[in-house]
Structure 1
Amino acid sequence: MNPIRRIAPAITAALFLVALAVGATGWATSTDALTEGGTLGTLAAVPLMYWVMITRTHQITDNQLATAEQRGYLAALDHVGRGLIDVPPPPSPGQCVRCGSDESPGDVISLADHRRPANNPEEKRTAQ
């Protein structure tokens, strides 16, 4: 893991808390410069906090990964044991794989039947 990603949450939390404390101190003492500096620091820390939260959400530990792989392996063994996973038969030319007959599937439309006579490639075009 990158060392910056390891210390980024602590730095972000510290920056946010210090900026918040500076802003609160400026507000309590009616010092505009401290209030504005604290507000600016707090607003600057917010995108870093989002980055830290998103990064932490997407991290996965080795134990979680091992558990997920083990569950997937057990699910695959269960499916094989129940006969849900079989090797599909190789398709033979001219046969429908799903139905096992020589007819084509119902959703295939032959273009030869619907070709207009003017677009028939067997006709020779003549100059007029």
Structure 2
Amino acid sequence: MKSSQHEYAQAAFEGIKSLDEDSVAAQQYGQLCHRFPSLVLTNGLRLAVTFFQAKSKNVESPHALYLQHMRNALGLDKSWKEELEIQNADYLHLSRRVLSASVWFKRYAEAILKIEQGTDAPEQEGIL
């Protein structure tokens, strides 16, 4: 039986490896891996997800890909909208799971995409 951390790590690895490492979108995605957890901590999961959805121009945008990869890591079956329509205790639990999974996205963004926290991605305008 795999631990939740193992599931998060595996899904994050697969998501990041599916990107073209040298593309601008991958660099932007790497920056989002660093920024999403802080958005969740400062604004809450609902607002962070809503912000990313608003920034998603299409299903291939870095924001949309990050949300889809996070859903895969968490094993969520429903849409984000449906998942976030829950009671406070469940919402807090989901927020903790998202933050726990986001650690793996940050680690792989640093290891695979070579994106360090605080560095700017090329053509970063409009990421956040």
More helix by share: 2
Larger radius of gyration: 1
RCO comparison, higher one (Cα < 8 Å, 6+): 2
- If the length of structure 2 is used for normalisation, what is the TM-score? 0.29
